[in-house]
């Protein structure tokens, strides 16, 4: 069984990304504390809030998603492991959705067209957003599921890790967002920070993991090449030796 080993540099990258996220979260607290003041005549302090669309923290989130798209595309095309295209398309959607508000805009349209009624504190547009996110998410996951059946051991193991991280992203991005909408004003800011800050931290973990995948794929391919060049009797003996060790 192929194991995914985390190199030391990947751990350092993870810590660097997470510390940057925590720095933005701390900056968010400062913005919240001093939001009633104006730091300079031309500054907009809310640009540094993690809840601000197209603010500085969100641009950092775009950057991480963009890196993931590039790396997964590199693996698929350069390493010729096309199954990683399924994950590349998912991260591409996340990037476009965050930057262009796809599910918000489509959700508003769908909610109006289907005539959802306000219920449990959720508006028609909110139900539309949930529906749009669910449909697009199921389509992307279906592609990943098909690729999983066709993929090698490294792809399957990496997909299991990414699926778990994706579930955490859904909890912060959809569940916490829904709670954010119906939460009373006195708790609204805290839930908003939990939602956006949680998304940032999960995406940092996913980014650090994806950064190490090219090395894992290359090592797996080298192992397959070395095994293919060995005489059949040697391959059989090595397989038996691994079985004994397990």
More confident position, 25 or 229: 25
State what percent of residues in the chain have pLDDT above 70. 78
Backbone phi and psi for residue 52, each to the nearest 5 degrees, phi listed first: -80, 125
Question: What pLDDT does residue 235 have?
Answer: 43
CB within 8 A of 121, min separation 6: which ones?
A: 181, 182
- State the Cα–Cα distance between residues 92 and 136, nearest whole angstrom: 12
**pLDDT tens figures, 44-61:** 667 888 888 888 999 999
**pLDDT tens figures, 197-231:** 999 999 999 999 999 999 999 888 777 666 555 45
Answer whether 236's CB lies under 8 Å from 50's CB: no
Question: What pLDDT does residue 195 have?
Answer: 83
Answer whether 106's CB lies under 8 Å from 246's CB: no
- State the Cα–Cα distance between residues 49 and 35, nearest whole angstrom: 10
Question: What pLDDT does residue 42 have?
Answer: 45
For helices 8-33 and 56-78, give the axis angle rounded to 10 degrees.
160
* Mean pLDDT calculated for residue range 6-15: 93
More confident position, 127 or 175: 127
**Shortest CA distance to 84 belongs to which of 74, 93, 95?**
74
Does residue 111 have a pLDDT over 50?
yes
- State the Cα–Cα distance between residues 65 and 93, nearest whole angstrom: 9
Question: What pLDDT does residue 122 have?
Answer: 75
Q: How many CB atoms lie within 10 A of CB 33?
A: 9
**Predicted TM-score (pTM) of this structure:** 0.83
Question: What pLDDT does residue 1 have?
Answer: 47
> Minimum mean pLDDT among 76-80, 123-127, 152-156: which range?
123-127
């Amino acid at each position: 069984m192929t194991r995914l080993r985390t190199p030391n540099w990947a751990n350092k990258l993870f810590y660097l990304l997470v510390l940057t996220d925590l720095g933005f979260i701390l900056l968010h607290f400062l913005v919240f504390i001093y939001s009633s003041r104006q730091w300079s005549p031309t500054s907009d302090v809310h640009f540094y809030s993690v809840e601000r669309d197209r603010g500085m923290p969100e641009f950092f989130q775009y950057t991480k998603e963009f890196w993931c798209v590039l790396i997964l595309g590199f693996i698929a095309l350069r390493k010729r492991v096309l199954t990683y295209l399924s994950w590349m398309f998912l991260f591409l959607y996340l990037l476009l959705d965050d930057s262009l508000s796809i599910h918000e805009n489509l959700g508003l349209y769908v909610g109006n067209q289907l005539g959802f009624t306000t219920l449990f504190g959720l508006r028609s547009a909110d139900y539309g957003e949930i529906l749009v996110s669910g449909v697009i998410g199921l389509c992307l996951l279906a592609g990943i599921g098909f690729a999983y059946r066709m993929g090698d051991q490294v792809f399957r193991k990496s997909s299991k890790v990414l699926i778990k991280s994706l579930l955490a992203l859904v909890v912060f991005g959809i569940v916490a967002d829904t709670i954010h909408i119906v939460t009373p004003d006195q708790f609204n800011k805290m839930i908003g920070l939990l939602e956006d800050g949680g998304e940032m931290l999960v995406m940092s973990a996913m980014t650090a993991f994806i950064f190490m995948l090219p090395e894992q794929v290359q090592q797996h391919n080298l192992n397959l090449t070395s095994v293919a060049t060995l005489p059949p009797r040697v391959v059989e003996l090595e397989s038996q030796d691994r079985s004994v060790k397990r």
